[in-house]
Structure 1
Amino acid sequence: MLGINLIFKVFGLFLAVAGQQPAPNNGEILMPTDEPFNMLKGEYQLDVNEMSNYRPTWASVWKITQNDVNNEIFYISTWPPKYCHGIYICPLIKQDYHDTNNFKTVEPEMCEKEYIKFYPHINKLHVKVAGGAEEEKYWMKNRLGFSIDNQFKAKLHVLESKPESHEQFMNATQKFIDFDFKNKEFLILTNSRMCQVNKIGSQFYPFFRKGIQKNPDQFPMWLNHGGQSNVATDYLPPVKSTSRGKKIDLLEYLKEQTWTSKKLGNLVKACEPVVGWRASGRKKPVNAQFKKVSVSSYAVNLPSATYKTDTVRRFTLNVEKCHWFRIWMTPKGEMTEYNTEMKLSETVDFFLNEGFYISPESDEAHPLPGVNELTKFTFTAALKDDVDLVDMTYGEMQGSPIYHDQFKLSAVGKTAFNLHIIKAPGCEISLDSRPALWTDFDAARVNNALHFGTCKFSFFQ
């Protein structure tokens, strides 16, 4: 066996990087499928991707861009907490990656000179600046913030000590650690392929995609970004289903109220239009803040079974001032039959103030981040019929999505279904059927296969 010079170990987790070895498979690594992957060595052929069509998983490269400088700040988020236990951010000299130029692990101890090790579940940071010693700091959020100037001088936001109470957290004063990121890029490693690291608003270069393309049958094929076939990836959607299924209705009290589609006195209330309100202007105050549980219902259908490769099944909810909301997606169910026909396996329940949602698959509560980030939810289904996996993108910062998750809901695989959006009193939600909302990059425009009928407004009293 050839000797290997270790460059670094990722704090007792899965990955390590080794000194240069001959590039296997011309830089395209063949992922082992029968044992944990535990070593980066030699060269890797990288190509650029976005979160909408791939995932970073264990190892990825992220550029520091002029857009970061223009915004004077950028963020690196980690999600979900269940899987993200250790993140290793390694600033390296930037390279251009293409068919003839691979990522190379050539410099001894290349990630021991300067790094940021982030342990989100214990709010701890180990930080080392080039030429300095390692420092222990703290951070209470699930994303790291970096201020940056036009010379690429950056400051990492940290806390000197860990707050032990809410009062201490609110009164904590941020400190800063200085970095020089001129001509640098980030190699980011995680402890799990299920951890979704995201330098918000950026493209990235995943390490293993090229190798997976050579043996796609050995990997999960569920990601779809408008193509006729799904894309193989080493990222596996989190398993949410249980033998018990979803049995507990946290909105049971709605069945004790009376549903109606009639007028409420002289008040006229209509659904929000099927466009983004940021495109058309804010609503008039008289149409906002309805004080009862309200419902917006849409008949959704796919008028043609023939799709181009630039087509998706997608819709977005713009959310504001909302305590909770429920999506009931059903092949035939109407609100007139809510008490008898509503199945919990057809619902997704979001409790924004409490910070969790319940998928259609079980009663398990899945965490949501801070309520201020939860202003937009996008739901994308596979283009093929009878495929029930939904990719949910949510959170928004600087015009870009932050978080991704998946769940199964059978109605999205049908050629026609009803979509009911049930909202808490005062909750404001508009539905946007445009297929491409986050367009920071020069990606090809896509079409939406889903056609939405006229919205019907109703409420509970």
Structure 2
Amino acid sequence: MILVVDVFNQKMTSLLIATCILFTSVSGQAAITPPYKVSPWSLAGPISSLQGTYQMRTTLISEYPPSLASVWELGSADFNIVIWPPKHCQAVQVFFINKKHKGIGRFHIETDMVKNESLTFYPPIQKLEVITGKGGTPKTYFNQRSSIPFVNYETGKYKLQVTESEVRKINDYNKATAGRMTEIDFNLSDKIALMVTNSRFCFAHITKDGSESSYDALFDPEVYEKPDELPQVLTISNKKTRKGYVPSLFHPLQSSWTAVNSGLKKTVDLLPVLKNPEFHDKTAMRQKSHCNGFVSTSRNPLKRAIGVISVDSWEVNDINAHMSTTEFIDDHFIVSIGQTCSWIRLWITDKDNTMEKYGNMKLSETIDIFFNQQFFVGPDSDEARPLSGNSTQIDRIAIRRHWDHSDSKGEGVAQMSYGRDGGQNFPYIEYFKMDSLSQQNIRINLIKAKSCQANIITSPQTRLSSANKPTPNYFEFVSCERFLLNNENTHDKSNE
């Protein structure tokens, strides 16, 4: 059985794909029973084998994204295998294996697993290889979606709809969905899913309606007996201990990441409408003094800030000094998006830079999200990355920072995840470098297109949809000031 894994060259300018054996027999272990010893490995080259016994704990995507290898419960209803982000997911392999392999907090990877039902998806070429029976022969199909939907029709039984030939034109795909889709039956009774990906930046995972996106991480340093043997890029982030902070996916920052990003920067401003802002007279605005709770559907036209470009300017403190040395600490904020929204810009900057000082704006401090066109541009380059849906399909966006709080340089990586508010976790995850987010006291300016109903959720109980005591959060929203702009975008026809 072949697994595709990624190896970055030293300059990280391209992705070198290498192949290796997934379940090779570990020397001297063929005749022994579990627990098996995990073979030493690193990210310096291809992984030679995953066979072994792993200690795990249940992890939420909101805490840490699935990376390289993860184990998922399937439940009893429909589920989707989500492949995201597309640029990093060259190959994803899913093995449907018996639950007996998963003990209490332990998971045994054995060579017999390759004989079970499985699928291998190659997103760039839309190719899907499927094995439905034990020891069966793989059959080739095609899937044009960014996710693979499994529809439950009987206890433990599912159907997967695919096409038998490659479809590249939307009209041909619409014809296929109208009557030429092929249905594949899966018997997944008493099965769980082992999912492996080609890259630690490919966050393939399973989503289920009405439940949180939780999974078991194969590499959890919290419970592994020798955490020093595990690569730092796979550890849980933002966990503070007496010895300091546990390294996360990006900390310490790899030299390859620094090298590639040092030559890139954001140079193109896609929102020139915001240059030289002209402000409405605040005395005539008749708005509430605070930003949260703003009623965008007011019948009073003087209160309808949604008719113009508006800004919620939040001063945010870092409450690192008040935290216990052993607490798990949230380090993110959430933006709620209404169903009508063309675009937003998050300008994250020094705490003194309100919208009145927009002339100080640096493009490296901005995240631009265009819902109608379904793309966004991060702060570290001019790359337009795909957005999975528009404002009718995305209603919350979470921005989390990954950084060393003891480092005064303020260098760090930001995580953006988004989706529907069906649970506490958002399935689509992106990363980019953003130094301004890693300052201790900042200002978050949420700039919204006219008719855009968006705001920053500052209440932890609202974020969790619960009255339970929330997890402490580094972000402390102190005060907010609202601005309305007279600036008009004559090229924006989205609201006509």
- 1:4 aligns to what? none
CA distance in 1 between counterparts of 2:54 and 2:157 reads: 29
Deviation sequence 1:424-449 (CA, Å, 0-9, x none): 121110211244778699x9941223
Q: Following superposition of structure 1 onto structure 2, how do residues 84-233 of structure 1 map, counting pairs within 5 Å?
A: 84-95=89-100, 97=102, 101-107=106-112, 110-130=113-133, 133-149=137-153, 151-173=155-177, 174-200=181-207, 201-210=212-221, 214-215=227-228, 219-220=232-233, 223-225=236-238, 227-228=240-241, 229-232=244-247
- 1:16 aligns to what? 22
C-alpha displacement at 1:182, in angstroms?
0.8
Aligned-pair identity (%): 25
- 1:274 aligns to what? 292
Within the candidate set 358, 361, 369, 1:350 is matched to 369
CA distance in 2 between counterparts of 1:459 and 1:273 reads: 12
CA distance in 2 between counterparts of 1:423 and 1:41 reads: 50
Pairs aligned (count):
439
Amino acid at match of 1:162: E
- 2:396 aligns to what? 376
- 2:45 aligns to what? 35
CA distance in 2 between counterparts of 1:141 and 1:427 reads: 28
CA distance in 1 between counterparts of 2:464 and 2:150 reads: 23
C-alpha displacement at 1:94, in angstroms?
0.9
CA distance in 1 between counterparts of 2:461 and 2:190 reads: 32
Amino acid at match of 1:89: V
- 2:67 aligns to what? 57
C-alpha displacement at 1:93, in angstroms?
0.4
* More divergent stretch after superposition (428-437 vs 326-335): 428-437
C-alpha displacement at 1:269, in angstroms?
5.0
Amino acid at match of 1:313: D
CA distance in 2 between counterparts of 1:182 and 1:438 reads: 35
SS state of the match for residue 241, structure 1?
helix
Q: 1:192 to 1:14 in 2, by over 3 A?
A: farther
SS state of the match for residue 55, structure 1?
coil
C-alpha displacement at 1:288, in angstroms?
6.1
- For the aligned residues, what is the CA RMSD? 3.5
Q: Is the 8 A contact 1:114 1:128 kept in 2?
A: yes
C-alpha displacement at 1:389, in angstroms?
2.8
Amino acid at match of 1:451: E
Q: 1:319 to 1:234 in 2, by over 3 A?
A: closer
Amino acid at match of 1:207: L
C-alpha displacement at 1:184, in angstroms?
0.4
CA distance in 1 between counterparts of 2:341 and 2:61 reads: 27
Which ranges in structure 2 are unaligned for 5 or more consecutive residues?
Answer: 5-17, 487-496
SS state of the match for residue 192, structure 2?
strand
Which ranges in structure 1 are unaligned for 5 or more consecutive residues?
Answer: 1-7
Q: 1:398 to 1:179 in 2, by over 3 A?
A: farther
CA distance in 1 between counterparts of 2:246 and 2:66 reads: 14
SS state of the match for residue 394, structure 1?
strand
Q: Is the 8 A contact 2:151 2:159 kept in 1?
A: yes
CA distance in 2 between counterparts of 1:62 and 1:325 reads: 34
Q: Is the 8 A contact 1:15 1:191 kept in 2?
A: no
- 2:14 aligns to what? none
CA distance in 2 between counterparts of 1:182 and 1:433 reads: 43
C-alpha displacement at 1:402, in angstroms?
0.3
Deviation sequence 1:399-430 (CA, Å, 0-9, x none): 34102222233333333221111111211102
- 1:310 aligns to what? 328
TM-score, length-normalised on structure 2? 0.77
- 1:82 aligns to what? 87
Q: Is the 8 A contact 1:147 1:154 kept in 2?
A: yes
Amino acid at match of 2:415: D
Q: Is the 8 A contact 1:47 1:98 kept in 2?
A: no
1:394 aligns with 2:409: no
Amino acid at match of 2:3: V
SS state of the match for residue 295, structure 1?
strand
1:359 aligns with 2:384: no
Q: Is the 8 A contact 1:119 1:125 kept in 2?
A: yes
* More divergent stretch after superposition (86-95 vs 172-181): 172-181
Amino acid at match of 1:17: F
C-alpha displacement at 1:77, in angstroms?
0.7
Q: 1:255 to 1:28 in 2, by over 3 A?
A: same
